[in-house]
């Protein structure tokens, strides 16, 4: 598979939804496969909350891509046929401009001064990337969770530049419960003594415990009760492989391990920023969703998972109903999914066939 990773600089900057402006910015971009002559085979993948530009294949920095089960040669999204693009979103911490990168105007780390971005800003910056790559229309824009919100927003913001949108395990807006969970995560980071009001870089520390706790909570919300029960049950952790001495159950050890691993990779300010992007998104902008979808021309494939209690299938159905009321050619399928909210990341026969058939139809 032809795979390229590059940092693309946008010297023209971007006006943000908040009214603030980034005078210039960088996006870390990865592409798979090749753009055909007619430029009709381009696919944009939008990553979820803690994802990045590395969607498929293997890289030294990021290991196996977050959607490697579905994206690659002869896979669900076939990189022999399609030119697949994925970028680390603005505000992230995997190479694109974000709180942990250097502010060109002050030559210091942005830290808390990095402006709050939004799903719309991400889509606008991805459109700038699209122009730079000389692509006129995405054959397919897809993502799960926060990535699905971007796919939805693409179809709203740029109706002429998207043919098909894949909206998986997503919602048109976060629920009160979603926001509440995120607030607990943010609070645990803010209350870490190493957070220093977001300026921890200056003190050469990271609020590791805060990020770890935040991730542990997040991780619970990504899995289902059934999945956790079948995977861990009430099994005890054997002494030899304990991450923390205090743990006794296997599930505790697992969360400790996942939290620990994540806390070393993810920037705390990015974590807070990303959760706020998720919380603030509302495709309908306080109005009924049906109005927001008026100009959409793309076809939709909306997939929800029964085991997902973070963005349950009900949320996908709301999008489907609004789509049908706008005469959008939209399909809505609920699959069992064994991994709760994270189910969108994993390949299964039906899920895979649906996506392939949708792209090829």
Partner 1 sequence: MAIKLSKIINNWVPENSKVIDFGCGDGSLLKELFENKQVLGYGVEINDTKIEKCIEKGVPVIKLDIDKGLNDFMSSDFDLSIMARSIQCLKNPDLALNRMLELSKRCVVTLPNLGYWRCRINLASGKMPITPELPSSWYETENIHLCTIKDFENLCLKENISIKDKVFINRNGNQGSLSKINPNLFAVEGVYLLEK
Shortest distance, CB of residue 306 to partner 1, whole angstroms? 11
* The one catalytic residue among 47, 54, 339, 341: 341
List contacts with partner 1 (CB under 8 A): 299, 301, 317, 320-321, 324-325, 327, 329-335, 350, 353-354, 357-358, 360-361
Report residue 68: phi and psi, to 5°: -60, -30
Least Å distance, CB 68 to partner 1, is 23
Q: Kindly tell me which of 69 and 356 has the beta carbon lying closer to partner 1.
A: 356
Nearer to partner 1, 54 or 164 (CB): 164
Taking the complex as a whole, the smallest distance from the CB of residue 211 to partner 1 amounts, in Å, to 38
**105 in active site:** no
Report the nearest approach of partner 1 to the CB of residue 330 (Å): 6
Would you call 230 a catalytic residue per the annotation? no
Nearer to partner 1 among residue 138 and residue 358 (C-beta):
358
Among residues 145, 155, 224, 270, the one annotated as catalytic is 145
Closest to partner 1 by CB, 116 or 331? 331
Which of 65, 313 has the CB closer to partner 1?
A: 313
Choose, from 192, 308, 338, 342, the residue flagged as catalytic.
308
State the nearest-atom distance from the C-beta of 119 to partner 1, in Å: 25
Query: Which of residues 18 and 350 has its CB atom nearest to partner 1 in the complex?
Result: 350
Q: Are the CB atoms for 59 and 67 separated by under 8 Å? A: no
- Report, in Å, the least distance between residue 67 CB and partner 1: 19
Is 145 catalytic? The answer is yes
Catalytic annotation, residues:
145, 308, 341
């Amino acid at each position: 598979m032809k795979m390229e990773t590059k940092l693309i600089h946008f010297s023209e900057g971007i006006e943000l939804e908040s009214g603030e402006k980034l005078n210039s910015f960088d996006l870390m971009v990865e592409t798979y496969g090749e753009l055909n002559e007619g430029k009709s085979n381009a696919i944009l993948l939008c990553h979820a909350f803690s994802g990045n530009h590395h969607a498929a294949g293997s890289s030294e920095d990021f290991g196996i891509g977050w959607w490697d089960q579905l994206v690659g040669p002869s896979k669900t999204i076939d990189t022999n046929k399609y030119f697949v693009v994925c970028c680390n979103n603005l505000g992230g911490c995997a190479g694109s401009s974000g709180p942990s990168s250097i502010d060109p105007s002050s030559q210091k780390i942005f830290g808390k001064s990095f402006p709050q971005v939004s799903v719309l800003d991400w889509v606008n910056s991805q459109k700038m990337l699209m122009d730079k790559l000389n692509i006129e229309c995405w054959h397919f824009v897809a993502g799960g969770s926060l990535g699905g919100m971007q796919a939805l927003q693409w179809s709203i913001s740029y109706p002429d530049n998207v043919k098909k949108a894949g909206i998986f395990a997503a919602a048109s807006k976060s629920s009160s419960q979603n926001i509440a969970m995120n607030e607990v995560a943010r609070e645990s980071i803010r209350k870490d003594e190493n957070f220093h009001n977001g300026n921890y870089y200056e003190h050469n520390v990271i609020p590791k415990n805060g990020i770890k706790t935040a991730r542990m909570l997040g991780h619970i919300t990504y899995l289902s009760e059934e999945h956790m029960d079948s995977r861990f049950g009430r099994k005890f952790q054997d002494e030899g492989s304990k991450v923390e001495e205090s743990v006794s159950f296997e599930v505790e050890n697992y969360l400790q391990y996942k939290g620990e691993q994540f806390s070393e990779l993810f920037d705390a300010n990015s974590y807070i920023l990303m959760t706020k992007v998720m919380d603030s998104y509302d495709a309908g902008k306080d109005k009924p969703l049906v109005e927001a979808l008026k100009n959409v021309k793309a076809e939709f494939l909306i997939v929800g998972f029964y085991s997902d209690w973070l963005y349950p299938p009900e949320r996908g159905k709301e999008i489907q109903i609004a789509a049908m009321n706008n005469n959008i050619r939209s399909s809505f399928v609920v699959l069992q999914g064994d991994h709760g909210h994270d189910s969108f990341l994993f390949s299964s026969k039906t899920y895979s066939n649906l996506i392939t058939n949708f792209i090829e139809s």
